[in-house]
A and B are shown apart, each in its own frame.
Chain A
Amino acid sequence: MSNQQVPIQAEHFRIVTEPISVEEVISRVVHPHAGAINTFIGTVRELTRGRKTLYLEYEAYVSMAEKKLQQIGQEIGERWPNSRVAIFHRIGRLAISDIAVAIAVSTPHRADAYEASRYAIERIKDIVPIWKKEFWEDGEAWIGNQKETVAYPTGKPEGLE
């Protein structure tokens, strides 16, 4: 097997309004050359900084968000040979413990699958135009960047081409 970059497929990178089927996301990366599939599942957390969230709303610039998810898939393909990636992110109203994002990465060997999966979620938090609004008993607020790079001194997220 040669070290090659697998072409990405647009239908592996989706913004959805319905509940995410983790099985479906995983199924997109199943491949005979894979020896490992790593999944990351991001769920809605009830407590943030001691404050109780009742539910969340996610909003996206859907067309650009899907493009940026594809870009992340492309970057992973360049860094980890023979990897396959699928990322689904849900938008709309989500309840506590609902799945907000599911990432599946398959690679020939397990170390790469773990690393690439971590890379994917960190990049999502940097470059994909999706926003979260928390609703509490006593108020609501749009949540800004959670990686403390809010000001973007260069006008673009760090690490962007």
Chain B
Amino acid sequence: MIKVLFFAGVKEQIGQDFIELDDRGWTVGQLKHHLLEKYPQASESLANVMVSVNEEFADDGTKLHENDQVAIIPPVSGG
């Protein structure tokens, strides 16, 4: 399984802290596309997110693997 974590506004729009998906050999870009289709209510937010894989920022070409922990990271506002 691949665990996908949601935070902040994206979490509220999707209504879940995380989901688990079967490993389908996807890239980060393919996962984002899947989320956009599955959660149209969050499409505007999802268009502006970064993605981390196992706690490191990853680009759309990064390949996902079994047991990866992915996080959908809206624009940050700490400090």
- A residues with CB within 8 A of B: 42, 58-61, 63-65, 67, 89, 100-101, 121, 124-133, 142-146, 149-152, 154-157, 160
Rounded to whole angstroms, the CA-CA distance of A59 and B52 in the bound complex is 16
Q: Can you name the residue of chain B whose Cβ is closest to the Cβ of A148?
A: B75
Contact check, A64 vs B52: say whether CB atoms are below 8 A apart: yes
| Chain B residues in the interface with A (C-beta under 8 A) | 5, 7-9, 12, 48, 50-52, 55, 57, 59-60, 71, 73-79
B-chain residues with CB within 8 Å of residue A151 when the two chains form the complex: 48
Complex contact A142–B5 (CB within 8 A): no
Cα distance A80–B58 when bound, in Å? 28
Q: Check if B48 sits within 8 Å of A150, measured CB to CB.
A: yes
A146 engages B77 (CB within 8 Å): yes
B50 in contact with A152 (CB, 8 Å): yes
Contacting pair B71 A145 (CB below 8 A):
no
Sample of 11 more A-B contacts, CB < 8 Å, known A126-B76, A152-B50, A157-B50: A58-B78, A61-B71, A65-B78, A101-B78, A129-B7, A129-B52, A129-B73, A130-B79, A132-B78, A156-B50, A156-B57
Contact B50 A130 (CB under 8 A): no
The 5 closest A-B pairs by CB, nearest first: A130-B78, A145-B75, A131-B8, A142-B9, A144-B75
Question: Which of A61, A101, A129, A155 is within 8 Å of B79, CB to CB?
Answer: A101
Q: How far is the CA of A119 from the CA of B16 in the complex (A)?
A: 35
Distance in Å: Cβ of B21 to nearest Cβ of chain A: 18
A22 smallest CB distance to B (angstroms): 16
**A145–B76 touching, CB < 8 Å:** yes
| Nearest CB on A from B3, distance (A) | 12
**Docked pose: A152 CA to B76 CA in angstroms:** 12
The answer on a CB contact under 8 Å between A42 and B79 is yes
Complex Cα–Cα for A103 and B71 (A): 26
